[in-house]
Structure 1
């Protein structure tokens, strides 16, 4: 691989924004990809993947390069020099790479590979916290998996097409996919490509949704004709899956505290041909109280640390703070206590997070079941998904049933 000056300049600009200004990596990459109309798909892939790579390995590369935040432009060029050297890419004869100590870089890499928190590039507090909760051995395996690039997984929209038809349509566009074991509606891309420009996407034949995330709607055990509430619906990835599983029959109430996310869900639902979804903004306790004892099924895809999805959000490692995790655990307990009241007797609830921390997952469920709010519920089953075992995001889900 050869390095091209304009692509490296774009990457440097993007990294300065992410590291020094705290802008979200996905937003920065989106802007960068529009920077030059002459760029082909390979150029755009280089900018996106290199930016994410250096964000992912920021701590390791910074330690090797001996640079500290806030980074200067020269510091970021040093990070790129480390990245290229470790990838085996020959450094061009540019002033930015003058006097790059290639041998020293490799030596320092070997040295730091013995220290997990530097080797896997995570903050000290995160390494300590997760090792304490998961155990040293399990965390070592998991953090290595969370540093791998996530596959692109599609969820076939069964309201509009079948897996076989979609696979054939994408094959005609030279997009090869494979089925995913134990994921009935999933297709995995064999090679990364931009699927959002395809007619199949525009017609609503699929959504991009990780394999673990696809398990949540299935876990809720919905049937056509039910009344289902998705309490933290966001832009509605799981809501749309529920609509497909319910064959557009019955009613889904999609709720969120952010109105703009529900607007995005409305747009996605129209594309997907999902007609049984009603949006409600949680702007007070009223919308919740109106649904007390009304729902056959309730999904609480709770706000969480997001420690299970670091593969696709590597900048979260640097934005997340331990105080936020303490705060979010309080929020989770409150949400579970309040939203569970929407389930009618005999109904079921799924509590889910994209975290791998037991304190956000099974501990929350245990605490709820021993509380006043949870005394009418029984534990049915749970599913813990770790990246190093599944190849997908880290997730947790628990199914509870309300006594009749």
Structure 2
């Protein structure tokens, strides 16, 4: 397996910006890949794969290197360690790789594996929180969160069906397998966004666990439905399909630019019943008191359930950040639930694995004054090692008539 200095330099530049300048990994990788139009698909795949690989095991590789990287040359050494541990038996005789010995690195690795936080390359505080929150499940959970995430599609029922999408993608050399319902598993990574099926709005990329939130809301055509933390709208699009484009779908978010992206996606998906509204003040929510048959709260969270997709999150999180997120979740649950009509329903969902953000939040809400008219109908936690997909939590509550 051959690689080139230009590829390693691009990875080193991306890593330096991610860890030393606070860039988000996905955006930084996209920037690096766009910077040189001459790169072919193999170059691009190599850069993306190995940038994420080093981000994922940053703490472990820094330990094996003897210190945290400070210069671009230091990042080259971490990349070299990563390559030696991932199928590259020899490195080119480049100055930056001088002194890297595979046998010595593997000997150090054998010792490091006895320490879970080092082995899984996470901060000590996160290891402590995970063990406290998940107990015996934590070791398997964090191990699974370091694996590469599967790519799952959701068929857009407003325009197509699983069989048609499967056939259309096969014609472009992309093989998918049916999982359940409208979910299709991609068996080989390729550029899905260049396909005719995607450009025509026949599917969206959405993890299987995440696909469980919209159906849990039990929407019907003709309902008034509010997606109150819509973001870029993956779940709004799913709700529109479940509503068969009938009724009213109102997507809210505090970030207007995300709603602009949702409108663009909605046009591609053939969604006709969606309205977007930025939350510019508390009056937006107050005016919608008891207006909705259904409300989806896919709330801001730690994102610990999607570390496979966003491995840099574990270096950006802190106990204080989680405390702030938990407080925000409580405010959203108690405040936004007022938009549901008597007899209506609400789904509370997160992409977290922590009970503190999930089951315990729902329990505290139900025990509070704001939750006195609510009943828990359904709740389910998804763990990557058990269910195979992202860590996720979904619960449905009904409001007394």
Same structural fold, with TM-score higher than 0.5 when normalized by the shorter chain:
yes
**Do structure 1's residue 158 and structure 2's residue 157 form an aligned pair?**
yes
Aligned residue for 2:114, secondary structure, equals coil
**Do structure 1's residue 174 and structure 2's residue 166 form an aligned pair?**
no
Tell me how far apart the structure 2 counterparts of residues 97 and 170 of structure 1 sit (CA, whole Å): 42
Tell me how far apart the structure 1 counterparts of residues 200 and 86 of structure 2 sit (CA, whole Å): 39
**Do structure 1's residue 138 and structure 2's residue 137 form an aligned pair?**
yes
1:239 match: 236
Tell me how far apart the structure 1 counterparts of residues 185 and 66 of structure 2 sit (CA, whole Å): 39
Measured after TM superposition, the shift of residue 107 of structure 1 is 0.4
Contact 2:18 2:24 in 1 (8 A): yes
1:119 match: 119
Aligned residue for 2:336, secondary structure, equals helix
Aligned residue for 1:345, secondary structure, equals strand
Tell me how far apart the structure 2 counterparts of residues 305 and 36 of structure 1 sit (CA, whole Å): 34
Contact 1:3 1:92 in 2 (8 A): no
Aligned residue for 2:34, secondary structure, equals coil
State which drifts further: 73-82 or 53-62: 73-82
Aligned residue for 2:342, secondary structure, equals strand
Aligned residue for 1:234, secondary structure, equals coil
1:66 match: 66
| 1:137-179 Cα shifts (integer Å, max 9, x gaps) | 2000000100011111111111011110110010000101111
Contact 1:67 1:75 in 2 (8 A): no
State which drifts further: 60-69 or 341-350: 60-69
Measured after TM superposition, the shift of residue 38 of structure 1 is 2.5
**Do structure 1's residue 83 and structure 2's residue 95 form an aligned pair?**
no
Contact 2:133 2:355 in 1 (8 A): yes
2:105 match: 105
1:255 match: 252
Aligned residue for 2:219, secondary structure, equals coil
Within-5 A mapping of 1:295-334: 295-334=292-331
1:358 to 355, 358, 365: 355
Aligned residue for 1:87, secondary structure, equals coil
1:267 to 264, 278, 295: 264
Tell me how far apart the structure 2 counterparts of residues 230 and 45 of structure 1 sit (CA, whole Å): 35
Name structure 1 gaps, 5 residues minimum.
none
Tell me how far apart the structure 2 counterparts of residues 324 and 100 of structure 1 sit (CA, whole Å): 37
Within-5 A mapping of 1:382-401: 382-401=379-398
Q: TM-score, normalised by structure 2?
A: 0.98
**Do structure 1's residue 202 and structure 2's residue 223 form an aligned pair?**
no
Tell me how far apart the structure 2 counterparts of residues 8 and 311 of structure 1 sit (CA, whole Å): 22
Tell me how far apart the structure 2 counterparts of residues 148 and 385 of structure 1 sit (CA, whole Å): 16
2:340 match: 343
State which drifts further: 310-319 or 192-201: 192-201
* Paired residues, number: 400
Tell me how far apart the structure 1 counterparts of residues 99 and 118 of structure 2 sit (CA, whole Å): 24
Name structure 2 gaps, 5 residues minimum.
none
Tell me how far apart the structure 2 counterparts of residues 84 and 243 of structure 1 sit (CA, whole Å): 45
Aligned residue for 2:244, secondary structure, equals coil
2:29 match: 29
Contact 1:61 1:79 in 2 (8 A): yes
Contact 1:3 1:91 in 2 (8 A): no
| 1:246-295 Cα shifts (integer Å, max 9, x gaps) | 10011111000111111111111011000111111111111111111111
Once superposed, what is the RMSD of the aligned Cα atoms?
A: 0.9
The runs of at least 4 aligned residues of structure 1 exceeding 6 Å deviation read none
**Do structure 1's residue 282 and structure 2's residue 279 form an aligned pair?**
yes
1:39 match: 39
Tell me how far apart the structure 2 counterparts of residues 102 and 170 of structure 1 sit (CA, whole Å): 41
